[in-house]
Amino acid sequence: MLTSKQRAKLRALANSAEMILQVGKGGISPHLVKQADDALTARELIKGGVLETSPLSAKEAANALAQETNSQVVQVIGMKFILYRRNPDKPIIELSE
Q: Alpha-carbon torsion 13, 59, 22, 35, what sign?
A: positive
For the chain, 97 residues long, give each residue's pLDDT as a single digit of tens.
899 999 999 999 999 999 999 999 999 999 999 999 999 999 999 999 999 999 999 999 999 999 999 999 999 999 999 999 999 888 899 887 6
Helix (H, G, I), strand (E, B) or coil at 47: strand
pLDDT value of residue 10: 95
Domains of the chain (ranges, CATH numbers): 4-84 (3.30.110.60)
Query: CB 57: neighbour CB atoms within 10 A?
Result: 14
Nearest to 50 by CA among 36, 39, 38: 36
pLDDT value of residue 97: 67
Between the alpha carbon of residue 22 and those of residues 5, 19, 86, 87, the distances in Å are 27, 8, 21, 22
For the entire predicted model, the pTM comes to 0.93
pLDDT value of residue 95: 85
